[in-house]
Amino acid sequence: MYTLYYAPGSANLVVHLTLLEIGALHTLERIDLEAGQQRSAAYLAINPNGVVPTLLINGLPHGEAAALTMLLAERHPMAAVAPAPGNAQRADYLQWMFYLANSLQPLFRQWFYPGDHLPAAADTVKEAARVGIEKCWSHIDAHLATHGPYMLGDRFSVVDLYALMLMRWSRNMPRPATAWPQLATLAARLKARPSWKQACASEGLTEWA
């Protein structure tokens, strides 16, 4: 049994989707970010960084969305949501997971919270983030055009779930991910999966659901 601490639509979404895809028993504990619950003593006791997600595994808390997603795939190999060690696609899997985690996701932090580090240059930070995000979408779209339909070719994996979460984050940007044809096709394919519908219902997501 797992317990996922989440805020609707936040970085926990990929972990939630993975739990649903692997069919793992889990419970959800909502963290109210607007009320500052992530900074409460009770939550900081299990996640000193005061962010979501936190996943309790055997009663012990763990964080970082990409790491949790990869760990769940590893702990439930029969679900086949990631290539196993030794599989020819393993290198591509690792490469894309780290690309999304290190190159794309941090840019969204800058887009949504441009004044966090440089308040006086918030507009510049936000514009730079937009340019960077769009560059990443172009790169992924080109990859899908030649190596799709999924991020790992014919094989669905948690890489696709990660990309889907980030695509949703872009929905209100000047040029959302779905402005790229291959990404739009991938998003439609993934949103048709039962896991997406269930996650949206559980988290109360209506936009882009």
Query: CB-based contacts of 174: which residues, under 8 Å, 6+ apart?
Result: 130
pLDDT in tens, 138-147: 999 999 999 9
Q: How far apart are CA 157 and CA 159, in angstroms?
A: 5
Would you state the pLDDT for residue 117?
Answer: 84
Within a 10 A sphere around the Cβ of 94, how many other Cβ atoms? 14
The predicted model gives 108-119 an average pLDDT of: 94
Q: Strand order in 60-63's β-sheet? A: 26-30, 2-6, 54-57, 60-63
Question: Minimal CA–CA distance to 53: which of 28, 22, 77?
Answer: 28
Indicate the DSSP class of residue 155.
Answer: B
Q: To the nearest whole number, what is the mean pLDDT of the chain?
A: 97
Torsion of CA 36, 30, 5, 10, to 10 degrees: -70
pLDDT in tens, 37-50: 999 999 999 999 99
Using the structure block, give the residue that is written with the tokens 């997971």: 97
Entry pTM: 0.97
The predicted model gives 61-81 an average pLDDT of: 98
The predicted model gives 125-152 an average pLDDT of: 98
Would you state the pLDDT for residue 209?
Answer: 75
The predicted model gives 103-112 an average pLDDT of: 98
Q: Has residue 61 got a pLDDT over 80?
A: yes
Indicate the DSSP class of residue 62.
Answer: E
Are 2 and 56 a contacting pair, CB within 8 Å? yes
The predicted model gives 83-95 an average pLDDT of: 97
Q: What percent of the chain has pLDDT over 90?
A: 98
Would you state the pLDDT for residue 3?
Answer: 98
The predicted model gives 21-48 an average pLDDT of: 97
